[in-house]
Amino acid sequence: MKIKDYKIGNKYNSSELMALAVELMYNSIPEHIDRADPKVGVVLAKEDGTLIDIAFRGELRLGDHAEYTVLERKHRSDILNEHVIYATLEPCGPGARSITKLSCAERIVNARIKRVYIGIEDPDPKVRGNGKAYLENFNIKCEPFDAIFQEEISLANEQFLNEALERAKLADIEELQPVFSTLDESLENYKFEDFSVEALTKFKDNLKITYDLDSIEFKSVLKKWNLIRTDIKTNSIVATGLGILLFGKNPQIQFPQSLIKFTIKTKNEYQPKILDFDGPLVLIPEKIESYLEINFPKSINRSTFARTETKEIYFEVLREVIINAIVHRDYTIEGANINVKIDDEKIEIQSPGKPIVSLEKLKLFIAPTFSTNPKIANIFYQMKFIEKRNLGMQELLDFSKITGLKKPILEYNDPYLSVIIWRIIGLRNEPASENIIEFANINKLFSSGDYAEHYTVSTKTASRHLNKLVKDGVLGREGEKKGTKYFLKKKI
């Protein structure tokens, strides 16, 4: 639908309201000529989907954020309890604007908004705060836009995103900023000297920073990334949890749960091989790669975690899943490490933490990108360990089509989100009825061809699966021959 087709007071589903926010985004009016401004669209709705109002950046006055426009300039005197906001860009957090201005996140909290759907996270890892984390501290539920909208938003804002990331590398030393997550907190017992020179050098080299490691300028960069802080009482530099986790010499002392544990058990080995990977997170990818190259020379090409050359698909997917586990896991769960279990049939990667998108979307490989640790994700992106827009879901979806292997399995068993990658060619997909129902519930109206493409089966097999559920009364069917469409009638 176009903007003109939406009517205030009508009810729409969440995907339709996301689409409206994306359309509004393109109307944004820039206020700078020397740098790119973000394109932002915002929709205000009730929890039941009733459309209340819309806004875009600069709509009523140059420089006004879209959230400010809809909350303060259009509905300042209205009671907005239990309302929902759809914003194409993460709302700015406290301290991100001038000292006299409230941030969008603060305005959302003051308006007592119940839920915020966020298109993409702000890539600038400023110490001044994370809007999403601030909202969650006030028990405001934050959820991502659908993946298809995230890609469009990122493409439309490509110049702004690139400039924001570039600005984040170099910055003047600033005052202490609010803390919104456990990892942002200072660790008084850890100093700058507790950082690994090797890890900092790799970070500096990958970002093409020319400052010396011990220079004021380089430390200002680390402060910008919230890796260190200045202790006002002692005027000394202390590390944050984030800094120690990523660059500390021995982060497992403070975060023993940050190990990556490999267990390999094959029919040719009497005892399983067990190996723990420790040290700063930014050095772990290459350690794991070296181990995989030695132990799996026949199935894994010699390549690097950094995205610099074409990779063999099996290794590419395995690497993607392991790095996603490192980046997106919940580091507050004590005693829960990342586990990689390998046997002759499969590889299972267990990542601690509940999925922050629906398990249903994960199982259907349509989950949007949304990180539990956006600052770690930013570091890993800058160091070229992950894609600019994480394509892990699409890679997993394409995996079985290319390799002939059974489609990977995603499941959650507290406290682990697990991804199972199969190793034996010939294990073809035969989805269970509940999986087909999940597919039907998401896609609403679909053809046997849609089903065949998703489950990598022939159209004949797809028709057999679907018609059985039609016979059982689970699915409905309309149209004839090539125009036949299926839909979910009831759940079992």
Where do the domains of the chain lie? 3-162, 182-254, 256-422, 433-488
pLDDT interval class at 317 (50, 70, 90): confident
Please, which pLDDT band fits residue 396 given cuts at 50, 70 and 90? Answer: confident
Q: What is the mean pLDDT of residues 17-25?
A: 97
Residue 298, pLDDT > 50, answer: no
Q: What is the mean pLDDT of the chain?
A: 84
> 7-11, 161-165, 395-399, 415-419: which has the minimum mean pLDDT?
395-399
83 pLDDT tier (thresholds 50, 70, 90)? very high
Position 207 pLDDT exceeds 60: yes
Q: Is the peptide bond before 415 cis (omega within 30 degrees of 0)?
A: yes
pLDDT at 2: 84
Residue 301 pLDDT grade (very low, low, confident, very high; cuts 50, 70, 90): very low
Whether residue 297 is predicted with pLDDT greater than 70 in this model: the reply is no
Percentage above 90 pLDDT, the chain: 44
CATH topology of domain 3-162: Cytidine Deaminase; domain 2 (3.40.140)
Report whether pLDDT(184) > 50. Answer: yes
Across the range 128-154, mean pLDDT stands at 87
Average pLDDT on 242-247 reads 96
Reply yes or no on whether the pLDDT at 129 is more than 70. Answer: no
Check residue 11 and give its pLDDT.
96
**Most confidently modeled range among 326-335, 369-378, 382-391:** 326-335
Segment 97-103 shows an average pLDDT of: 71
The average pLDDT across 138-156 equals 92
pLDDT confidence tier of residue 310, bands split at 50, 70 and 90? very low
Amino acid found at 276 = D
Can you give the pLDDT at residue 430?
A: 62
Query: pLDDT band at residue 325, thresholds of 50, 70 and 90?
Result: very high
Tell whether domain 433-488 is in CATH 1.10.240.10: no
pLDDT at 292 over 80: no
**Packing angle of the helix pair 433-443, 448-455 (nearest 10 deg):** 120
pLDDT at 425: 60
Is the distance from CB of 245 to CB of 281 less than 8 angstroms? yes
408 CB-near residues (< 8 Å, 6+ apart): 317, 396, 399, 400, 419, 420, 421, 422
Greater pLDDT, 367 or 414: 414
User: How many residues does the structure list for the chain?
Assistant: 492
pLDDT classification of 182: cutoffs 50, 70, 90: confident
pLDDT at 164 over 70: yes
Domain 256-422 has CATH 3.40.50.300: no
The pLDDT confidence band at residue 428, using thresholds 50, 70 and 90, is low
Distance between CA atoms of residues 455 and 277, nearest Å: 35
**379 within 8 A of 323, measured Cβ to Cβ:** no
Reading the block at residue 424, the tokens are 């034996």
8 Å CB contact between 321 and 328: no
pLDDT of 128 higher than 70: no
Highest mean pLDDT among 29-43, 371-385, 432-446: 29-43
Under the banding of pLDDT at 50, 70 and 90, the label for residue 242 is very high
The token pair at 372 is: 């539990």
Q: Is residue 474 over pLDDT 90?
A: no
